[in-house]
A and B are shown apart, each in its own frame.
Chain A
Amino acid sequence: MTKLKLLLLMSLVSFAQIAVAQNKTVTGKVTDQRDGSPIIGASIQAKGSKIGTISGRDGEFSLSVPDNTKSLTISAIGFGPFEVALTGSPIQAALKISEVQNLDEVIVTGYGTQVKRDITSVIARVKGSDVQNMPVADLSQTLQGRAAGVFVEAQNGKIGEGIKIRVRGASSLNGSNEPLYVVDGVPIVGGVYGSATSDINFNDVESFDILKDASASAIYGSRAANGVVLITTKRGKAGKTKFTLNTQYGFQEPTNKREFLNAQEYIDYYLEAATNSGKYHYNRVGNTRGFANEAAAVTSMVNFVKGRFTRYSGWSDWTKVETNTNWQDQAFNDDASTGLIELSAQGGNEKNKFYVSGSINKQDGILIANKFKRMSLRFNMDNQLTNWLKMGVNMSLGKTERQRVSDDNAFNTPMQLVALSPITPIRNLAGELYNTPTTTYYNGLLDVEYAQNHANGYRNQGLIFTESRIAKGLTLRNELGLDMVNQSDERFWGSKTDGGAGIGGFAWAQWFRNTRWTTNNFLNYATSFNDAHKLDVTAGMSFENRYDEYSYVEGQNFADESIQTLAGAGTISGGTTTQEKNNLLSYFARANYNYNRKYLFGITARIDADSRFGSNYKYGTFPSVSAGWIVTEENFMKGINWLSFLKIRGSYGIVGNNTGIGFYSAKAQYSSVKYGTSPGGLGINNFGNDDLRWEKVATTDIGFEFGLFKNRISAEFSWYNKKTTDMLLAVPTPSPSGTRSVLGNIGEMENKGIELSLNTTNLAGKNLKWTTNINIAKNKNKVLKLDGEQKEILPTSSRFANAVIIGQPLGVFYGVKYAGVDPANGDPIYFNQDNKTTTNVYDAAGKFIIGDPNPDWIGGINNTVSYNGIELSILFQGVFGNQVQDGAGGFMSASGDWFDNQTRDQLNRWQNPGDITDVPQARLNRWGDFDSPQMSTRYVYDASYVRLKNLTLAYNLPANVANKLKISTARFYVSGVNLHTFTKYPGWDPEVNTDYRSGNVNQGSDFYAAPQIKSIVFGLTIGL
Chain B
Amino acid sequence: MKKISIYILLAALIGASGCDKKLDLKNPQTISVEDAFSTSDKVKNVLIANYASMGDAALFGGDVLWMSELMASDGELNWVGTFPEPRQIWSKSILLNNSYVRDTYSQAYRVIFNSNNIIANADKVVAIDKAKVIAEAKFLRAMAYFELIKYFGEKPFFAGSPATLKGVPLILVPGPTAPQDPFYNLPRASVDDVYKQIILDFTDAETNLPPKNGFYANKPSASLALARVYLQQDKFAEARDAANRCITVATANGFSMVSNYANAFNNSSNTSEDLFAMQVTDQAGTNSCFTFFSTDTYGARDGDIEVTSLHYNKYSPTDSRRNLFFFEYGEWRCGKWRDIYKNVKVMRLAEAYVTRAECNKRMGTAVGATVDADLNVTRSRAGLAPAIVGATLPQILIERELELAFEGQGLWDAKRLRLTIDGKPWNDNKLTFPIPERERNINPALEQNPGYN
- Please list the residues of chain A having a beta carbon within 8 angstroms of any beta carbon in chain B: 1, 3-4, 7-8, 10-12, 14-15, 18, 470-471, 476, 521, 523, 541, 543, 545, 578-583, 585, 587, 609-611, 618, 663-664, 667-671, 673-678, 680-691, 731-740, 742, 744, 789
Contacts and interface: CB of A to CB of B under 8 A. Distances in A.
Contacts of A18: 1, 3-4
B32 A681 contact: no
A736 B109 CA distance: 5
A674 B23 CA distance: 31
A476 B8 contact: yes
B179 A677 contact: no
Contact of A734 (B22, B46, B53, B185): B185
Give the dominant DSSP class at B's interface. Answer: helix
Contact of A738 (B16, B36, B113, B439): B113
Contact of B177 (A11, A668, A678): A668
A981 B33 CA distance: 57
A673 B48 contact: yes
A689 B176 CA distance: 12
Nearest to A674: B284
A20 to B, nearest CB: 9
A740 B108 CA distance: 12
B159 interface: no
What are the 9 A-B residue pairs with the smallest beta carbon separation, nearest first?
Answer: A676-B279, A738-B113, A4-B15, A681-B49, A683-B49, A681-B48, A737-B179, A674-B284, A669-B30
Nearest to B343: A676
A732 to B, nearest CB: 5
Contacts of A731: 180
A744 B11 contact: no
Given A4-B12, A734-B442, A682 B113 contact: no
B114 to A, nearest CB: 7
Interface in B4-44: 4-5, 7-8, 10-12, 14-16, 18-20, 22-25, 27-33, 35-36, 42
A675 B439 contact: no
Contact of A610 (B23, B35, B49, B106): B23
A858 to B, nearest CB: 39
A902 to B, nearest CB: 28
B59 to A, nearest CB: 12
B265 interface: no
Contacts of A583: 19, 22-23, 25
B326 interface: no
B327 to A, nearest CB: 24
Contacts of A1: 15, 18-19
A869 B28 CA distance: 61
B235 to A, nearest CB: 28
B248 interface: no
Contacts of B179: 687, 733-734, 737-739, 742
From B7, B19, B171, name the one whose CB has the most chain A CB atoms within 10 angstroms: B19
B30 A744 contact: no
Nearest to B53: A683
Contacts of A541: 12, 15-16
A689 B179 CA distance: 8
A578 B215 contact: no
B8 A8 contact: yes
A690 B179 CA distance: 11
B281 interface: yes
Interface residues of B, number: 70
B110 A738 contact: yes
B259 to A, nearest CB: 25
Interface string B428-453: 00000000101101110000000000
Given A1-B18, A676-B285, A663 B25 contact: yes
A673 B114 CA distance: 13
Contact of B4 (A4, A14, A735, A738): A14
6 contacts: A583-B22, A611-B25, A680-B48, A733-B184, A735-B436, A742-B178
Contacts of B45: 680-682
From B113, B175, B181, B283, name the one whose CB has the most chain A CB atoms within 10 angstroms: B113
A732 B441 CA distance: 9
Given A4-B11, A15-B4, A681-B49, A732 B438 contact: yes
B23 A611 contact: yes
A673 B49 CA distance: 6
From A664, A732, A740, name the one whose CB has the most chain B CB atoms within 10 angstroms: A740
A789 B55 CA distance: 25
Contact of A737 (B11, B113, B285): B113
B4 A682 contact: no
Contact of A11 (B7, B20, B284): B7
A7 B14 contact: yes
A609 B23 CA distance: 7
Given A580-B27, A582-B25, A3 B186 contact: no
Contacts of A545: 22
Contacts of A736: 109, 112-113, 169, 171, 175, 184, 186
B29 A578 contact: yes
A789 to B, nearest CB: 7
B15 A669 contact: no
Contact of A735 (B18, B109, B114, B178): B109
B82 to A, nearest CB: 12
Contacts of B181: 737
Given A668-B33, A683-B46, A683-B53, A611 B186 contact: no
A663 B27 CA distance: 8
B51 interface: yes
A582 B22 CA distance: 9
A934 to B, nearest CB: 15
B137 interface: no
A11 B4 contact: yes
Contacts of B178: 689-691, 742
Given A610-B23, A671-B29, A733-B442, A470 B4 contact: yes
B105 interface: yes
B32 A667 contact: yes
A11 B11 contact: yes
A3 B23 contact: no
B375 interface: no
A680 B237 CA distance: 41
A521 B12 contact: yes
A669 B25 contact: no
A176 B268 CA distance: 45
Contacts of A735: 105-106, 109-110, 436, 439
Contacts of A609: 20, 23
Contacts of B7: 7-8, 10-11, 14
B52 interface: yes
Contact of A579 (B20, B28, B32): B28
B46 A682 contact: yes
Contacts of B5: 470
B25 to A, nearest CB: 4
A585 B19 contact: yes
A543 B19 contact: yes
From A471, A583, A686, A735, name the one whose CB has the most chain B CB atoms within 10 angstroms: A735
Nearest to B14: A3
B104 to A, nearest CB: 10
Nearest to B47: A681
Given A582-B25, A675-B285, A684-B114, A732 B12 contact: no
B149 to A, nearest CB: 14
A686 B30 CA distance: 9
Nearest to A519: B15
A502 to B, nearest CB: 14
A793 to B, nearest CB: 14
Contacts of A737: 109, 113, 175, 179-181, 184
Interface in B359-384: none
A339 B325 CA distance: 68
Contacts of A4: 11-12, 14-15, 18
B52 A683 contact: yes
Nearest to A4: B15
A585 B31 contact: no
